[in-house]
Structure 1
Amino acid sequence: MIALFLALLGAGGFASARPVDSLARAYAGLPDPRQPTLNSVPEAGAAYRQAVDKSWTAYRSRTGQPAATWAAKHITPAAGGTVFYPFAGPDLVTVAQLFPEADRYVLVAMQPAQPPLDPLQLSEAARRNFYRKFSSEWQKFGRLGFFRTNDLDADVRDKQARIGLTTTLMAFAVRLGYEVIEVSPISLNPETGEFEPLVNARTEAWNSVRLTLSRAGKTVRVDYVRMDLSNSYLESHESSRVWMARMTRHPVFLKAASHLPQNSGFSIIRDAIVMNAPLLVQDETGIDYRELGKIGDVALYGHFERPHPLFNPKSQQSLAAAYRVSKISGELPFSFSYQKASSQRCLQVVRRRVAATTAQAY
């Protein structure tokens, strides 16, 4: 039987009889027609719902819908399968719109997922603080289209608002039209090499989380994995390194990755992607352009001259040169990643080059 209810989340946690989808809809400022008694509770208030609606509508019109339309034409991924999104934070929104037919999304970042909470079990003051803070997060994502690491770290430290990545993932899921069926903490089993659900997990065990979603009769899984992708960590954690390498055999998406894949301290994941990925979609913060040719032919979209001022101005000089000489760089009609101006935002799509084979008939 599908588990629809949150369990007791250990000492210091809470018990809630609310369906997880009801919680997700509350986070997203959406009514829950299956829980009419809860609709009468002024849980978030009209101001919160209006602020979230406004931010989501602005994001969808400026970025989300144009990106989905563009992806259907230029990425055209096969239906089903897994998409691997390293350095993702809780950005389910972007990867789900660029790869809408995937069966599984695997997102990796450094922050703990943390368990969801039921705002109805908070004091009135704490509940107001939760929604005030989360409203700010909605507005920031609606404006930027990505999550800043400093903000995610600050959310982890904030023990009053208690907004974790699980909360954000659940809210995004229902805004994308999914029903949230189940939410559970997961951990890597060294024996099987897979992330598996934890039973009766305490609050502090919610480092990684799995969301089971449903839309139009299709079940989709979202795994958020807390993992350090640096060489120093992967070299000393073999099971994590092996799992990561296996994930790179799926289509890979890189966005707002702070140019980390170009850093020598992240060469293990870079090399795994270059060696294994059948498809790579990235912005300028992903893998250095000089490495992309080892995968296959690179399709350039948008324009690129230099990195965002936050980063090393010498990064991706070969990519800038490729854009200067390219006569066929395609359109990128939506705001994306760190670069917002149409003269700077860019994406690259690289498909694995199939080795030529010679067949001889006898």
Structure 2
Amino acid sequence: MGVLTKAWLVLACLLISMSGPVRAQTVTADDTARVLAGMAPSAGSPLAAVTEDPAWRRHAAFLDNAFNLLEQRQLSRIRSWADLNLAAPRPAMFYFFSGPDFLYADAFHSKATTYVMAALEPTGPVPDLTRLPPGSIGPALSYVERSLQSILSFSFFITKNMKSDLRDGEIEGTLPILYVFLARTGKTIRSASLIWLDESGGLHAGNEPATRNATRGARIKFAGADGVEKTLDYFSTDLSDSGVKASGFLKFCEPLAPANSLLKSASYLLHERSFSQVRSWLLKNSATIIQDDSGIPLASYDPRAWRFFPFGRYLGPIDKFPDKYQPGYAALFEHAPPLDFGIGYRWRTRESNLLLSVRTPSSDTTISAEATGPADTSYQPPRARRAPRPPEFIPMYPPPPRRDDFMFWPRW
């Protein structure tokens, strides 16, 4: 073998030996999500060393237990309910006043391919665990656990807590929580980036200079077990009348309509005059709406345009909202079939209410019959029947929050 040939072989071996570590140094968004969710990252990930930390192992055991319980008592039952009662899924779903609650968006509408979520809470930066100071993984994971506390126990985020939790620690914002929910629901994150909307609803990359009234958010591309790529857009925005007037958020959503909408633990804001625009917009641009009584008031629906399918029990609002009782809602739920899961502010199983509203095909020519599922002759509410008494919803963090612990969206 000649000297030149040997030299080329040595160089080739050197390049091969170098190529492995170079590739291994890339930290993906999916690896980050899995570590935050207490799940092992991919083989060769630089984050693999984190899983040897006792703090991470405790975190992983905690979340394993928490999500196993949540799957049994909540998520699997919601998916079963959705399979039985949601006739024809739409490609897009809207979840306003959501916080980072992808967990329930996915449970109710797992077949959507575009999720649009909106709330006041900021996105924060794209999480990068490689920038954490030495020894700070424990506090970072504690931030995740603290932020998840109320939704794991009561099915909703407590705004008072989120205002501090999402700004406290080495990682911050809604993105880390969205990462956890995506990982724990079996999704693979393919990319994550910051975005913003201009006043016309135009979408821009986060590194582009933003306009004065920019609506900031994040876009996550992900896939489930079937490999179909989906999009999650989360926007930090004011949904009051003055807020939507100044932003391009609703203009961005319009091309995605008609969509399926979800409203849960929404602080009864859509009962207020100052939220009339987003209320009207949802009624116009939704094919179906799933909500508890804190969503759109029943009186705002046109009964000629909607069919109503109530589930569970309506006991009225919690004490925090004494003036939001709806007599019409109570009458609608008199003979409603039971729910076997808890939802909303009345999170105990036998106290929860859920209303499925289906837009009738003839009510708006822009919404086709396909958008509302099968024809009216075949789409009937489930027959009211006595179901086996479901087990009590036991929170992970007893006791439940005191009345004074609740602080919901500000009254703009």
Q: Please, what TM-score do these two structures have when normalized by structure 2?
A: 0.75
> Does the CA-based 8 Å contact 2:98-2:264 persist in structure 1?
yes
Judging changes above 3 Å, is the alpha-carbon distance between structure 1 residues 36 and 267 closer, same or farther for their aligned structure 2 residues?
closer
> Does the CA-based 8 Å contact 1:113-1:226 persist in structure 2?
yes
Judging changes above 3 Å, is the alpha-carbon distance between structure 1 residues 256 and 30 closer, same or farther for their aligned structure 2 residues?
same
TM superposition shift of 1:278: 1.3
The residue that corresponds to 1:50 in the other structure is 61
Confirm or deny that 1:174 pairs with 2:183: yes
- The correspondence for 1:144, drawn from 148, 151, 154, is 154
Confirm or deny that 1:62 pairs with 2:73: yes
- Please tell me the root mean square deviation across aligned C-alpha atoms, in Å: 2.4
The residue that corresponds to 1:309 in the other structure is 319
Confirm or deny that 1:91 pairs with 2:98: no
Confirm or deny that 1:117 pairs with 2:127: yes
AA at the equivalent of 2:207: V
> Does the CA-based 8 Å contact 1:275-1:295 persist in structure 2?
no
TM superposition shift of 1:39: 2.6
The residue that corresponds to 2:204 in the other structure is 196
Judging changes above 3 Å, is the alpha-carbon distance between structure 1 residues 248 and 265 closer, same or farther for their aligned structure 2 residues?
farther
Judging changes above 3 Å, is the alpha-carbon distance between structure 1 residues 255 and 294 closer, same or farther for their aligned structure 2 residues?
farther
- What is the CA–CA distance in structure 1 between the aligned matches of 2:209 and 2:36, rounded to whole Å? 23
Secondary structure of the residue that 2:355 maps to in structure 1? strand
Confirm or deny that 1:132 pairs with 2:142: yes
The residue that corresponds to 2:341 in the other structure is 334
What pairs up with 1:99-114 in 2 under 5 angstroms?
A: 99-114=109-124
> Does the CA-based 8 Å contact 1:301-1:332 persist in structure 2?
yes
AA at the equivalent of 2:121: Q
- Once the two structures are superposed, residues 299-328 of structure 1 have per-residue CA deviations (whole angstroms, 9 ceiling, x without a partner) of 00001021122213443332123223xx3x
What pairs up with 1:265-304 in 2 under 5 angstroms?
A: 265-292=274-301, 293=303, 295-304=305-314
> Does the CA-based 8 Å contact 1:185-1:206 persist in structure 2?
no
TM superposition shift of 1:147: 1.1
Judging changes above 3 Å, is the alpha-carbon distance between structure 1 residues 31 and 337 closer, same or farther for their aligned structure 2 residues?
same
Judging changes above 3 Å, is the alpha-carbon distance between structure 1 residues 33 and 18 closer, same or farther for their aligned structure 2 residues?
closer
> Does the CA-based 8 Å contact 1:249-1:273 persist in structure 2?
no
TM superposition shift of 1:115: 1.3
Secondary structure of the residue that 1:45 maps to in structure 2? helix
The residue that corresponds to 1:10 in the other structure is none
- What is the CA–CA distance in structure 2 between the aligned matches of 1:22 and 1:268, rounded to whole Å? 40
Percent of matched pairs sharing the same residue: 23
Confirm or deny that 1:184 pairs with 2:189: no
- The correspondence for 1:344, drawn from 351, 358, 364, is 351
> Does the CA-based 8 Å contact 1:235-1:241 persist in structure 2?
no
Secondary structure of the residue that 1:343 maps to in structure 2? helix
The residue that corresponds to 2:367 in the other structure is none
Confirm or deny that 1:230 pairs with 2:237: no
AA at the equivalent of 1:85: Y
Confirm or deny that 1:22 pairs with 2:4: no
What pairs up with 1:1-12 in 2 under 5 angstroms?
A: none
Judging changes above 3 Å, is the alpha-carbon distance between structure 1 residues 307 and 294 closer, same or farther for their aligned structure 2 residues?
farther
Q: Please, what TM-score do these two structures have when normalized by structure 1?
A: 0.85
- Once the two structures are superposed, residues 7-66 of structure 1 have per-residue CA deviations (whole angstroms, 9 ceiling, x without a partner) of xxxxxxxxx941111000000000123336643433542111101111111111111111
AA at the equivalent of 1:346: N
Segment drifting more, 310-319 vs 162-171? 310-319
- Once the two structures are superposed, residues 220-275 of structure 1 have per-residue CA deviations (whole angstroms, 9 ceiling, x without a partner) of 100001111101222344x3343355556311111110111111110111111222
The residue that corresponds to 1:3 in the other structure is none
AA at the equivalent of 1:82: A
- The correspondence for 1:82, drawn from 88, 92, 112, is 92
Judging changes above 3 Å, is the alpha-carbon distance between structure 1 residues 244 and 269 closer, same or farther for their aligned structure 2 residues?
farther
Segment drifting more, 113-122 vs 63-72? 113-122
> Matched residue pairs, number?
333
Judging changes above 3 Å, is the alpha-carbon distance between structure 1 residues 194 and 84 closer, same or farther for their aligned structure 2 residues?
farther
TM superposition shift of 1:287: 0.5
The residue that corresponds to 1:5 in the other structure is none
TM superposition shift of 1:125: 4.1
- What is the CA–CA distance in structure 1 between the aligned matches of 2:282 and 2:67, rounded to whole Å? 32
- Once the two structures are superposed, residues 177-208 of structure 1 have per-residue CA deviations (whole angstroms, 9 ceiling, x without a partner) of 111110001111445x3433333789xx9930
The residue that corresponds to 1:12 in the other structure is none
> Does the CA-based 8 Å contact 1:114-1:206 persist in structure 2?
no
- What is the CA–CA distance in structure 1 between the aligned matches of 2:231 and 2:254, rounded to whole Å? 20
- What is the CA–CA distance in structure 2 between the aligned matches of 1:310 and 1:105, rounded to whole Å? 30
